[in-house]
Each structure stands twice: as C-alpha cells, then as structure tokens.
Structure 1
Amino acid sequence: MHTGYAQAVAGMAYLWGWPIINMINRRAAVTQAPHPGLLNGVLPVAPRGRLGMLHDYIDPTETFVTCPNQDVVYGLGYFALDEEPVVVQVPDFDDRFWVYALYDARTDQIGDLGKPYATPPGFYLLAGPNWQGATPDGVQAVIRTTTSLAAIVPRVFMDDTPQDRTAIQPVINQICCYPLAEFDGTWKTTDWAASPTIPGPPADSEGETTWVVPDKFFDQFAQALDEVPPLPGEQALYDQFRLLLDAAGNNPDLAKALVETAEQAEQDVIKPFFCWNHNGLPAGNGWNRSTHNAQWGVDYFNRTGTAKSNMFDNRPTETQYFYTDHDGDGQQLVGAHRYEITFPAGQEPPVDGFWSLTLYNDQHLFHPNDLGRYSLGTKNTNLLRDPDGGLTLSAGGPQPKDDHASNWLPAPQGPVSLYIRAYWGQQAILDGTWQPPEVRRIT
C-alpha cells in the first residue's frame, strides 16, 4: 500500500469513523461517574448501565454537547448491552410530550419509546444484538440495539413556569435505568433534584469538549471497527480500513502519514461542517433543515456533519431542526444587531408536540445572560402577539424597552446562530412544505 493510496483511505476512514470515535470517548467520560449525579453540578452522568437525570433545564454553561435545548428536562446514560442489558422504566407522562432517544454507536436512533409512539408506561428491556438470555416476567417489551454500545437521552417537555417545574418533579423522578440483574418488578424512584455534584475537569472555555483528537484517532480506530459491525454493503470498506491499519502497523512512515491525514481532515473536512449551510438541505428563506437525522444508514456526510455541529438529533418524525447563521440578505448574524422573525397568524411551526426558537453563540452553545433566556416558543406563556394574530420574535441588540421585551432573545456581541426545533411535526413539517420565516435585520 503506497502512501498516496493509504492517505486516501485514511481520509475516508476519518470521515466515516469520526462519529463513532466521538461516541466511544463520550461513553468513557460519562461512565467514569461512581454513581448517578451531575458532573461539576451541570451534566447528568452515571456509571455504565445507569442513567443520570436533570430536574430542570440544562445549565447554560454546559459544553458536553453543542446545540443544547432549554425546552426539555434531559437525561443521559451509556450502556454495553451485549454484556449487560438494562431495564428502562417509563412512567405515566399523561399529556406531557416525552421521548426516550436511544442511540447506537453510529448515532442512529433505535427503538420507539415516546409520546409519538403511544408508548404505555412500564418496564422495557434494552438488549444488545448478541445478548442471549431470558426475558423476565413484567417486562413490557424487548428493544434490540444494533450495537452493544448504546446511549439514552430522555427528553421531557416542561413549560417555563414555576407551576410546571413543580408538577414535573414526580414524573421525572420515575425515569430510571438499571442493569437487568437488579430487576425485581418494583417501581423505582430517584429524587433527581437532590443529585450529588461529581467533581470533574473544568469545562472547555473554547466550545464543546473535544471528543475526537486527530493524532489519537487511528490508535482508537480498530476499537471502532471491532465494536460496530458493518452495515450491508460496508464489508469491503471495513476490509480496506483493516488493511490500512495493518500496513501502518508495519511501517512507521505510513503511520506518521495517517496522523498527518487525520490532522488535515479535521481542518478541511470536519471543521466546515460546523457551518449550517454545510448541514442538511435548504429549507427556504436562508435556513437549512436536518436530513436523515438519527437515521443515517450510509449517509456519512450528514452523520458526521451532525456529530460535529449538533450531536444527538432526534428522528425527523420526532423532531425536525431548522438552522441558520445568516439573515435574509445572506449576511452573518451578529448579536450586536437586532433581528426579527415573524410567524404570520396560523403559520407557526405546525406540530403536535412543541416548537421553539433558540439562539446560540459562535460555538453553538448558550451565552449566559442576566435574563436566563435562551429560547422562546411553546414553553413561554407570556409572548406578546401582533395585532393581526401573528408572532414576532426578536434577537440581539439592546433589550427592548416596550412590552415586546418578553419576545426577545439576548445575544453576545459576536457571531450567533438561530435554531428552530419542531417536535412531533405535522405533515407540512415532515414533507418540507412549511418554511421558516426570513430573519430580518432591523438595526
């Protein structure tokens, strides 16, 4: 294998394997927790086979994942399901929107647990593709994953009111995951508001935590190939990747070339995915929309693009995402300016769940502000309507001094992004006929 060919294969390996190495390294970090709790008081973490859960919106200082959501109460857990199946407890959420997003090592979503699926309360067993064991009585259903490595990210909608913060606590306290060996058929509860703080390394001040390190990528790549079986049609790709590792293992110069290729690919291939115009497909009025989210298959372009820009999407039928870095004139959004987004009467995102507009800084993270306000939408009960029944939201610039201050999102001075979530979208969301409104600069 000559160097030029090896570099070509290595470049494809880096694009293909980036989300998987990302997942492997997130699992390693999260499962170091000795017990469920909050890493540095912020991120829900737990040992392998268990779940950590918030009791409120995610703290705005969070850097574990880009594009966090302040419309739901989150949870997080990582599993090794061939070695240790887990029981997932689903309480009665009544009319509240909820979904348990289950991800395999490729970041594809698996299983159907949530309000869109009319999932009944009960106990559900998550098992790996190679696990062979008896299913105990009392388990509602068995969900087979496609890889042993799996993650769960529960999302439970919560209004931005003190009343709903109180009402949701008994429900989320019944969200629980634990190893099958501990299943006894009894309902378990945890007071997530009392989750202990687990000390950890300081958050990355420059953006999301770095989960893929180019010069270590090929040291970990064999683990990715071993943990993640090939999809139909991928066997030849796997054979090329293994041949590449074997060749580099016997040739120090070739091994050095792989590191150089990884470092170059990080800059030339991965980094540009952070720009929204390189993510998904155009959705109209300068926005893009997510494509194949959490159902990637062999769409390596969008799988890796999303892993870089906004990891842990829901399926399109659960959530459709719209995002932009630019105003309607194609100019970069800058927080020092004021922008307006007007939804005409009857033309807000058509959903059976909820929708929101979120503002992020140039790292796709929250910029802490005195109002503690990062998104607007269904959760807000005090939004002011336009005289014709429409809804105008604004972002950036100085805080408005009139009644429209309730419709305003604070922003840092520099570049920002806007992001619309449409949970459990209706047909116009799913087929793309609904388009986000133009972002208009007004100051």
Structure 2
Amino acid sequence: MLSRFSCLPAHDPAVRPSPSGRASRTVAGLLLAVALVTASARAASLEPPRGVVADVESQRFQLLDEATARSIAAEAYVWSWPLAYVHQCRVALQRVPSPGRSGGMPVAPLNRLSMLTDRASPQVRGVACPNQDVIYGFGMFDLEVSPVILQVPDFGTRFWLYQLGDQRTDAFADFGSIYGTRPGCYLVVGPGWAGTAPEGVAGVVRSPTRYAYCMPRIFFSATPGDREAALPAVNRVLAYPLDEFSGEMRSCDWTKSRWLPDLTGRGRRTVGATPETFLDVLAHVLDDVPPLPGEKPLYARYRLLLRSVELDPGLRRPVEEAAAAADRDVVAPLFQFRNVGRPLPAHWTTLVNGGDFGTDYLTRTAVAKSNVFVNRHQETKYYFLDLDSDGGRLDGRREYRITFPAESLPPARGFWSLTVYDDQHALPDAAGGRHSLGSRDSSVVLGEDGSLTVVVGPSDADSTPSAGPAANRLATPDGSFSLYLRLYWPARSALDGTWTPPPVHVDLARGDRSPPDRVAESRDVTRSRAAFQKMEVSLRYDDFAGSSNDSTR
C-alpha cells in the first residue's frame, strides 16, 4: 500500500483534492495592488454590480466604462501572470519534435518528459535559479488528450522528488523519497477522467487542471562516481501517453538526448503574458483552468472585461495601458527576492506556502516571476537574500562572510545547499570558481568549534589563509547578486521558523573597500516592502466574492 500522502491505489481513480482553493485566505493584495497602479480606483469599484455579473453569465450586460475596465485589467494581469507563464511554456513545448535539451534544460513534446544527466550549467538562461544539487527533468501534460504514464524507478537510498503541478503552479501529488513512494508506473489523469487504470499501474493521481507539469529532481553528491551511479535510475524516468503502456517499465539513454534550438530565443526566459498579449492569453487561461471555490465572481468579472473589449475596441488601449502599469509597478518588483514571501531577520526572506498557494495570488505571482516551479514547504525550504546584514545590496566586487554555528548548521534531513545567482537569477557566467556548496561537498572545512564559515566574493581574490579554505568559497559575478539557501526535506525547526539563516556580513577589509550605498538601497527596500505590506491588508476572499453560495468551500 502506498503511503497516505503518495498516490491512491490503482483501483481508486479519485485522488485527494489539490490543496489550492482555501477560500478563506486573503486575496494576497490584488485589490490594493491595483490601487498602486490605478490610484484613482477604489477597492469597492473593482467589483461591478452583482446584477451585471449575473447578466454576463446570461449574455445580457452593459459594457464596462474605461475606469472600471482599467481597474479590472490591472487586477486580472497580476492574478493571471503565473497561469499565463505555464500557458506560454505549453505553447513553446508544442513545437518540440522529440525529447531533448534546449538552452541547457530538458524539453519534450506534450505528454512526455526529458531528463538531464548532469547538474545545470551557467549557460542555462531560460529558467530562473537552476539548482546544481540535482539532475533535473521536465515535461508538460495535456491530460484531455490522454492520461500519462509516469515511471518511478527504484532509486534505492538516493534522495529524489517529482514535482507534479497544475496550471496554477500548485502541487497536487506527493512523489518522493520523503513520502516513501514505491517504484512503479503511475497514471496521471485530468479532472474529467472516469476510466479504469490498466493492470500494472501502481497508482492514479488526478490533476485539477487539464494542463499539468512534472519536474523530477534526482540528487547526486560531489563524491566521484555518484553521478554515474545515479544514471541507470535516471534513464528509467519517463513519461508517455497511456496507449503506449505495455505493463512494464521502459528505459531511455538520456546521455544521447538531442540538442534542440533554443525555444525562447538566445536564452531569453519564458514570461507570462505581456501587456500586449494579456487579453488573448487571459481568454485561454479562463477556458483552461476551472475556478477554485469562491472564484466564480472573479471569473465572471474577467470575462466581462474580455467581452467589453470585444464589443468596444476602443477599450483595448486603456486596458493594455493598465496592464503595462501593473507589470511595471506590481509584477516587476516581485522579481527581487526581498519582495518575495515572508521577511526574516538579517534581511532573509522565505516561503511558507510554495507549491500550495491557493488564493494567495500575490505570492504565486512573485514566485512565478522570480523563481518558478518551487517545491512545497515540507519538501524544500527556500531562503532568499539580496541584502547584507546592514541593508546594503549584495555586490560582487565585495567580500562577505556567513557563519553557521556548530549547533545551528542548516537543519535538513535530506541535504542543503547555498548558491550564488547573478542579478538575472542565473548562475554566474564566466565568473570562475564555484557558485554552490553544501552538505553534498565532502571538501567543505568546518572550524575547530564545528562551525561553518562560507566566504562569498570575487573569484580572483587572494587565497591567503585569512581568505578561508578554498573549498568554503563561492565566486560572485561583477554586479549585484543574490544568495539562495535550499533545505531539502527540512527539519521541524526550519518549518516552524525556530531556525533562520545567520546574517551575511560585508568584509570591508577585503575586496572593494568602498562602503555600499545602503541609504539609497534602504529607501528602495522600505518603499517596496511598505507597498507590499499595504497590499496584504486586503479584503478576505469571501468578502471579495460577496455573499454568493460559491464564495466558501
């Protein structure tokens, strides 16, 4: 029998519902986010009269005026950005002829996946924050076309996770060593599937949306030979349509994957809708993604916007202007890690609901913008840092130190890593040196007291003893950068907030000795945080949706 949180037995096609849709959560700032970009709009004006919404559903309605259309457009742009991102990924993958690699990352046609065979390289620019601790895979599924067989080989004692997510980027199944998932062939089905799993299927998991994605992460250490030892299992990580299932697990030599053209163009990152494509993509999103409990009034309002622009083309330009303002003033700042998630001491931030966003729309958009496809809280704990202990922007010309006391090393039951990313959230290119270290590295040197000090700075810094062991150094790019701490299978102290990362101190005696411009940066951070804290004072979703019977679960 599978563990309680893994997958249901093959004879039971139902699966636990997605953790999304907690209708009682706050609307994560969308209404007041709109107020930032359309200052003249009041929160109360964002909801058209209830009679108008009812008329939309019966095809009798009055057109929106320009002010209301702008307000709804700004709200819809922020709300739909992550869903549009997944939509754009799916559209790009429809051009892929066969599983392979593009831009250094795995790509495959719909209803299949592809695997890398080594850690991601600095040449990867198509996705944010690639991890150097795991072998990645990726695939997207159109479950209306066909259910998909997903193979889980026997990984032995190796740490592994498969992230299965819906178009909202919420996880809907538990696959991994932390769940005790058994090896086997599993069936991934869509929300309307009512078939019977064939013999040989170990379990059935149901996506709440037609389109879903799978991102396997297979750990390997820096120990010589461990990557090669992982490859036989990696070669059995496959996904394919149900009608190809023979009852037995298949294999593929992923080391022979084809290199395909860059899907996004010269390493450009996939983005959600642009202000110019926003309305077209929004229409697809509303059709493809069913509303969560409580979201029917929201869907009706967005359809009213689309219908009004269709019947009054003069509204298109002001709607696109409102979307552009929302992109500039709300979505773009969410790329900075200091604006993502929950603030912690020493200027770190963290997530508490990654992969389980529900109706926390602002955090969902922030993660999609800065670092999409994160694991759930209990699987991976993420900590982000843009600023040193004094509030100055991390700068690659300077040198920094972070010390984990012996009694306070990162509390991970699986493994942990600390990684440097440049100002585009990519691994530094041509910076020399290493950009990630962690518990997988046997060469890391602990102090006599058992503490761990990591030195972060230019790769051309001197190697005198005062610089610290070379194995404990991380190289930085020339410009600003961020630090990213991952705890795979975090311990309770990380999950409940008892443990937080230590401060990162700038060493003015080494590297560029000019003091950082903390004043200007402090104003920027204060302004950003104040804006987003203000967004959090939003209406509760049941108030937002009104007294409709659909407003609560």
1:66-121 residue CA offsets vs partner (Å, 9 max, x unmatched):
11111100000000112211011001111111000011000001101101110010
Distance 1:248 1:65 in 2: 33
CA contact (8 A) 1:49 1:178 kept: yes
- Specify the code of the residue in structure 2 equivalent to 1:14: Y
Q: Determine the structure 1 residue equivalent to 2:407.
A: 346
Distance 1:316 1:5 in 2: 37
CA contact (8 A) 2:273 2:281 kept: no
Identify unmatched segments of 5+ residues in structure 1.
none
Which of these residues, 76, 94, 100, is aligned with residue 162 of structure 2?
Answer: 100
SS in 2 for 1:394: strand
Which of these residues, 120, 144, 168, is aligned with residue 82 of structure 1?
Answer: 144
Query: What is the number of equivalent residue pairs in this alignment?
Result: 441
CA contact (8 A) 1:66 1:363 kept: yes
- Shift in Å, 1:230: 0.3
Please identify, of 23-32 and 416-425, the stretch whose mean Cα deviation from structure 2 is larger: 23-32
CA contact (8 A) 1:107 1:312 kept: yes
SS in 1 for 2:505: strand
Distance 1:215 1:160 in 2: 46
Q: Determine the structure 2 residue equivalent to 1:66.
A: 128
Q: Does the C-alpha gap of structure 1 residues 202 and 137 become closer, same or farther in structure 2, counting only changes over 3 Å?
A: closer
Q: Determine the structure 2 residue equivalent to 1:274.
A: 335
1:338-365 residue CA offsets vs partner (Å, 9 max, x unmatched):
1111111031111111111010001111
Matches within 5 A, 1:47-196: 47-196=109-258
Q: Determine the structure 1 residue equivalent to 2:85.
A: 22
Is structure 2 residue 96 aligned with structure 1 residue 33? yes
SS in 1 for 2:414: coil
Root-mean-square deviation (Å): 1.4
Distance 1:274 1:48 in 2: 28
- Specify the code of the residue in structure 1 equivalent to 2:338: N
Distance 1:116 1:224 in 2: 33
Q: Determine the structure 1 residue equivalent to 2:548.
A: none
Identical-residue share of aligned pairs (%) = 43
Q: Determine the structure 1 residue equivalent to 2:33.
A: none
Distance 2:220 2:326 in 1: 40
- Shift in Å, 1:372: 5.9
| TM-score, structure 2 as length reference | 0.78
1:150-171 residue CA offsets vs partner (Å, 9 max, x unmatched):
0000001111233111111111
Is structure 2 residue 443 aligned with structure 1 residue 392? no
When Rg is computed on C-alpha atoms for both structures, the one with the higher figure is: 2
1:361-420 residue CA offsets vs partner (Å, 9 max, x unmatched):
011111124656221101211011112111111111334414611111111111000010
SS in 2 for 1:306: helix
Distance 1:324 1:400 in 2: 25
- Specify the code of the residue in structure 2 equivalent to 1:420: L
Which of these residues, 317, 321, 327, is aligned with residue 378 of structure 2?
Answer: 317
- Specify the code of the residue in structure 2 equivalent to 1:7: R
Distance 1:369 1:395 in 2: 16
Matches within 5 A, 1:249-288: 249-288=310-349
CA contact (8 A) 1:325 1:333 kept: yes
Distance 1:202 1:231 in 2: 31
Which of these residues, 307, 316, 324, is aligned with residue 246 of structure 1?
Answer: 307
Q: Determine the structure 2 residue equivalent to 1:420.
A: 485
- Specify the code of the residue in structure 2 equivalent to 1:405: A
CA contact (8 A) 1:399 1:405 kept: no
Is structure 2 residue 9 aligned with structure 1 residue 9? no
Q: Determine the structure 1 residue equivalent to 2:283.
A: 222
CA contact (8 A) 1:63 1:209 kept: no
Distance 2:274 2:236 in 1: 37
Distance 1:232 1:182 in 2: 36
CA contact (8 A) 2:82 2:365 kept: yes
| TM-score, structure 1 as length reference | 0.97
Distance 1:10 1:193 in 2: 46
CA contact (8 A) 2:343 2:350 kept: yes
Please identify, of 233-242 and 81-90, the stretch whose mean Cα deviation from structure 2 is larger: 81-90
Comparing both chains, which one has the higher relative contact order based on Cα–Cα distances under 8 Å and sequence gaps of 6 or more? Answer: 2
- Shift in Å, 1:212: 2.8
Q: Determine the structure 1 residue equivalent to 2:44.
A: none
- Specify the code of the residue in structure 2 equivalent to 1:253: G
SS in 2 for 1:162: coil
Q: Does the C-alpha gap of structure 1 residues 424 and 373 become closer, same or farther in structure 2, counting only changes over 3 Å?
A: same
Please identify, of 361-370 and 105-114, the stretch whose mean Cα deviation from structure 2 is larger: 361-370
CA contact (8 A) 1:32 1:46 kept: no
CA contact (8 A) 1:358 1:418 kept: yes
- Shift in Å, 1:291: 2.8
CA contact (8 A) 2:82 2:272 kept: no
Q: Does the C-alpha gap of structure 1 residues 370 and 246 become closer, same or farther in structure 2, counting only changes over 3 Å?
A: closer
SS in 2 for 1:285: helix
Which of these residues, 293, 297, 303, is aligned with residue 232 of structure 1?
Answer: 293
CA contact (8 A) 2:92 2:263 kept: no
- Specify the code of the residue in structure 2 equivalent to 1:438: P
SS in 2 for 1:84: coil
SS in 1 for 2:282: helix
Q: Determine the structure 1 residue equivalent to 2:54.
A: none
SS in 2 for 1:346: helix
SS in 2 for 1:270: helix
Please identify, of 394-403 and 220-229, the stretch whose mean Cα deviation from structure 2 is larger: 394-403
- Shift in Å, 1:201: 5.0
SS in 2 for 1:13: helix
CA contact (8 A) 1:36 1:50 kept: yes
CA contact (8 A) 1:48 1:80 kept: yes
SS in 2 for 1:32: coil
